[in-house]
Amino acid sequence: MAKGIWIIAEQRGGNLRKISYELTSEGRRLADQSGQPLAAVVVGSQIGEEAKKLIPYGPDTLYVADDPALADYTPEAYTAVLADLIKKHEPDIVLLGASAQGKELAAKLAARLETGMAQDCVSFRLENGLLIAKRPLYAGKVYAEVASETARPQMAAARPNVLAVAEPDPGRQAEIVAVPVELKPDDLRTTLVELLPDASGKVDLTEATFIVSGGRGMKTAENFQVLEELAGVIGASVGASRSAVDAGWRSHTDQVGQTGKVVCPNLYIACGISGAIQHLAGMGSSKVIVAINKDPDAPIFQKADYGIVGDLFEIVPVLKEEFKKILS
Amino acid sequence: MNILACIKQVPDTEAQIKIDSGGKGIQTADIKWVMNPYDEFGVEEALRLKEKAGGGKVTVVGLGPQRVVESLRTALAMGADEAIHIDDPAADGGDSLATARALAAAIKAVPFDLVFCGQRAVDNDNGQVGAALSELLNIPLLSVATKVDLSENKTKVRILRSVEGANWVLESTLPVLITTQKGLNEPRYASLPGIMKAKKKPLAAKKLGDLGLDPGQAGEAGSKIKILGLTPPPERKSGQMVSGETPQEKGAGLVKLLREEAKII
């Protein structure tokens, strides 16, 4: 009989990423609700001390798989270590983060374990032991509740920045278990040759608290400078619509929408974006949406909490100065 | 060099998505179906690698009802050599693993050095078929590639991948499965001669039985994850237009609202 809730933490460069705390907090909530123990698994190299940072967030057991070959995430090696551990202990539920690496790892792990996996979930609930996960389809045009009724473990990957991080309890204790690591040559077929830090130093759109985004109304690549300046004042990342990316004004990594990134910042400022349905799907779950557009009939206004009909090249510089005033 | 590219047919991204009366699927009556945009990058990259190598074969594989033939013919018109259509109602409606199982059975029947899949399909957004397929074929997985470089002797491949705040260069040995991301290439349009030629290219329809699979191993019956129900996205309450005579008034009014009403900055 499978039992226990597990979360698979995520580290990069020996540092736990925020999603690890989100997963541990959510795991604790589900464990308390169902009277099950919670375990957190950390995979890396010389990661023991860093792994302990999760303890105040609630795991009863902390599994640490520590090996020089595991310093950098690679899909085969991490899948091998985790699949062996999961087969040995048979947890009932395994949660990962739906980050860049987590989406891949969760999918590979689920296939190896021959179980189902709910990708990129925004909430979880338990019903008689069944993990019911809510996830967007069509980039958020509809939402599905999904579950794995018979296959175990029940697996899901949680969208980053959606689950709340609980207040840490410094009094908590956890049993720390070292995981034996045995890797076969096949597990090491993929290597990380180079890690190039993003030179821009800006926060990825999927992790950004504020986003200023531009569309066809920007007219040129150079004009994005006005958005960059506003973004600089409020600490936002700059996004773009598909039209702006296809016109070559911005990199494809900046694209928000159904064929780009799905984002959920606290504030999304859409400048010169008419609001094609595939764009609205990608940013529709932002907490507050502002639209600035010349056309009062632009569909983007139907999604916006606050709209300004006007010329973005006149409005955005005003916003920059006004934000400067309140933030200084 | 034998290269496979998997394609899925999905609703056009401009499509309105409405929930059907059963509550677990979408209304398909007015949907325009297209090749999944991420899969197009895979087909294009396969063609470019073949052209660069000066030979080889590109085979496209698709799963789904009769309409999928249209997307397979599109890939053939772009330049793919052959197509395999897994055309069996028992293979439809599967979760990622069940779908990958059917694709894997079709792919194992042909020689391959490289397999391409879109990094995700823009309908169910699962992003799992490529990873599951790499498991079932027991080959390494390189995900979400925006650049693919094959080594001179064609034994290794390097990809560039963008992750949160960084870029990774990853290397694997062949055979390998690569999932493709926007930015990798600009897919070509099918030329008129290409479309004419495509009509004569081999397109093999396969039932699950032809692939050595039982109905229970693929499609809905072979799925672990089930959709319990669909709901529309949460309604956004109607917003307000920020009034003002001048850009200055409107801009200042908005910042005040964000500060005092929305309280987010």
Q: What is the pLDDT of residue A197?
A: 83
* Terminal Cα distance for chain B, rounded: 56
Smallest CA–CA separation between B209 and chain A, in Å?
21
CB contact under 8 A, A74 and B170: yes
Q: What is the pLDDT of residue A36?
A: 95
Smallest CA–CA separation between B126 and chain A, in Å?
6
Reported as a pLDDT band with limits 50, 70 and 90, residue A2 is: low
CB contact under 8 A, B224 and A278: no
CB contact under 8 A, B255 and A319: yes
| A-chain residue closest to B165, CA distance | A198
Q: What is the pLDDT of residues B56-101, one digit of tens each?
A: 999 999 999 999 999 999 999 999 999 999 999 999 999 999 999 9
- Closest Cβ–Cβ partner in B142, B166, B230 for A196: B166
Q: What is the pLDDT of residue A3?
A: 87
Cα A263 to Cα A265: distance, rounded to the nearest angstrom: 6
Who contacts B243 (Cβ-Cβ below 8 Å, separation ≥6)?
Answer: B249, B250, B253
- Mean pLDDT for chain A? 96
- Closest Cβ–Cβ partner in B37, B131, B226 for A149: B226
* Terminal Cα distance for chain A, rounded: 59
What are the C-alpha distances in Å from B217 to residues A108, A110, B39, B64, B100? 18, 16, 24, 16, 10
Percent of chain A with pLDDT over 90: 95
Helix (H) or strand (E) holding B94: none
Reported as a pLDDT band with limits 50, 70 and 90, residue A7 is: very high
| A-chain residue closest to B126, CA distance | A119
Q: Which of B28, B34, B125, B142 to mutate to test the interface with A (most CBs of A within 10 A)?
A: B125
Q: Which of A318, A320, A325 to mutate to test the interface with B (most CBs of B within 10 A)?
A: A318
Cα A113 to Cα A121: distance, rounded to the nearest angstrom: 20
CB contact under 8 A, B143 and A322: no
Reported as a pLDDT band with limits 50, 70 and 90, residue A328 is: confident
Residue B231: how many CB atoms within 10 A of its CB? 12
Q: What is the pLDDT of residue A198?
A: 78
Task: Average the pLDDT over each of A99-108, A226-235, A253-262, B231-240 and give the range with the smallest value.
Answer: B231-240
- Closest Cβ–Cβ partner in A195, A210, A284 for B233: A284
CB contact under 8 A, A116 and B95: yes
Q: What is the pLDDT of residues A84-101, one digit of tens each?
A: 999 999 999 999 999 999
User: Would you say residue A1 has pLDDT above 70?
Assistant: no
Q: What is the pLDDT of residues A165-200, one digit of tens each?
A: 999 999 999 999 999 999 999 999 999 999 998 777
In chain A, which residues have their Cβ closer than 8 Å to the Cβ of B128? 107, 110-111, 117, 119
Cα A180 to Cα A236: distance, rounded to the nearest angstrom: 43
Q: What is the pLDDT of residue A182?
A: 95
List, for chain B, all residue ranges whose pLDDT scores fall below the cut of 70.
none
